Each structure stands twice: as structure tokens, then as C-alpha cells.
Amino acid sequence: MEFEKYINSLEESLCTLGNVQTKTINYGVQLLLTASGKKVTLNVYNGKKGINLVWGGENSDLRDQARELVHQIPLHNNKGSNTAGIRESQGSADASALSETVHCSSARPHFLLAEEPDFPGVWLGSDESGKGDYFGPLVVAAVCLDKKGGEALLAAGVKDCKSLSDEKVLALENVIRDTALAVSVLVMKPHVYNMRYDQVQSEGGSLNTLLALGHVAALKQAWLQYPQCKWSLVDQFAKNNDIPDGVHAFAPDMQVWQRPRAEEDIAVASASVLARAAFLQTLRQMAPEAGIGRIPKGGGEAATNAARRLVQKQGMDALERFVKLHFANTKKLWEIE
């Protein structure tokens, strides 16, 4: 049952990037994503040691974006514990294939950098929210903590926002702000997001470029509040990005760490909560202006249908103020129901 829910979540998330087809394979399910002439396959195997993800297709921005979205989807085992880590290696059959194994554990978010040599005990973590949601902003937040603050936030129940209800996320926002050494939250509303996305695309960039710029800006704002901080941790959403160079432009001696599943770290988890809280608050503020009732989260059919109602009510020009135009949902608005 949990595996089926996971597959459904994968399909709904990948639909924001293009057309998705699924078929049953031995010991699992295959998802085929197609967009702009590019194809990406994801084989999901349900084994005794956990969920094994095997990516196929050419190494491309589409696959990077798909992997980024997949890494945001929480996985629960039968006891409800969350994903604890991810192992990635090169596939032997295809040099461009990626194999990932997701292991389940009940471990809480912790201090991912604590075992590194010379760990100073003070560090920044950043995370984003809204990049898989058709409606609403892209939000990037950064949080600076010391060990004492990290322990206090763990005790308060702070963890990756995908493991928390919306109500809990909103309740923890002020707890984090009151405990952290520094925080920053940057909200990129849809009309600004669409303009910036078009700009980075015209310069040969992608969504990952825009994300990297957001992380650098959030880290800078938090660092300016507490410049004694010399270490930072960011989720590794792409193999190559400009985050280290961007951070070193304002803090040349900053250690920049990028790791898969960095949201297990309490500073990154705290940033995820602040980003999600700002996303939820902005979405609610947008609802009266949209005039279509409650705005749905995510990038599935409910979001597409809500956009259709918005167009019927306010016209096509209104879309840019409420949605991320490059999502596949926009093309679906012209499909005959």
C-alpha cells in the first residue's frame, strides 16, 4: 500500500515536467517521462532492502529536474518512519544511468556536518519550497544554528517539512525564528518567478540555475546577520551548480557542503519549515485575488483545473500572476476535456 502511494506521488510530481506513462515491470513499476522531445525513464523496484530507483535516458536538464522533484517526495515504511538516506552510483549497463537506493529509518534530523574535521559547531542550512507547485511562489530560506539551538529545535519537533502537516509547519515558524542565530526567507511570487525563469533560460540556464541563485541570496542574507558563521550546507539538487562560487563571492572563506538528502540536517530542516510556512502563507494571500476558492497545492490535475477556472474568470493574462508558466499544466489548459 505504501509503495502504491509512493508511485502515485512520483507520477503526480513528474507530471509537472511533461507527459508521464507508467507500466508494471518485474518487482516494480516503470515511469516514462517525455517533454520537448526528451525522454527519461525511472524504474522503481520494491525490494527487501528498500526502494531502488534506477534512472535511464540521456543525462539532461530534464533528468536533473525529475531527480530533483523525486528527491522531495517523502517515503514512509509500514510504521510511518521517513526516508533517512539515499545511495547513488553509476549504473553498469548504461554509463548515463543512475541507481539509487532509499533506505527507511526512524532517525530524526541531526547534525550532518558534526563528524567533519574542524566542525565549528555553527553552520547555515538552506532549503526551498514551491518548486513542484504549479500555483504560488518559489521560496528559499536559510537558517543559522549552533549545536544548542539545533538540539532545542529537535526537541521542539522540527524536521523536514514534508514530514509535517501544514498546521505544524506554521506553528513551528516562530519557534525557529526565536531559536536560530539568523534566518532569511526570500519569496519569489509567480510574476517575478516567470520573469526570472525566462531570463535564465535565455542565458542558457535552467530551473537549477534559478534555484542556485535563490540559495545563494538566502545564504547571504542570513550570513550578513551572523558573519561569524563559516560553514554552510545545501541539498545537492544538481551535480554541478554555481552555489559555491556564489557564496564565495560574499564569504570567501565559507565552507560550502552539498549533500543528497541534506534536509535530514536540523539547520536545513529548519530552513525547509520556514520556506514552507512562507509558501503556505503566500498561497492563502493569493486566494482572494484569484477568486477561485482555495488554491490547490502540487502540480496535478487539481491545479490544472483550478487554472482553467482562473482563466475563465480573469482571462489568460492573469495566469502569470498566479502560476509557474513553464509547468506542463499550462499546455494542458488547451487540451479538450
Annotated binding site for a divalent metal cation: 127-128, 235
Question: What is the Cα–Cα distance from 224 to 166, expressed in whole angstroms?
Answer: 30
Record the cell numbers describing residue 49, joined without a space.
532492502
Give the sign of the dihedral formed by CA 30, CA 36, CA 37, CA 38: negative
Cβ pair 254, 232 in contact under 8 A = yes
Question: How is residue 53 written as a grid cell?
Answer: 530507483
DSSP 15-28: TTTSEEEEEEETTE
Burial class (CB in 10 A: 0-12, 13-18, 19+), 324: buried
Residue with cell 565549528: 120
Question: 231 with 124: CB under 8 angstroms?
Answer: yes
Binding residues, as ranges, are 127-128, 235
Q: Any idea what DSSP says for residue 298?
A: S
Helix or strand holding residue 149 (H, E)? helix 147-156
Residue 271 to residue 264: CA distance in whole angstroms: 11
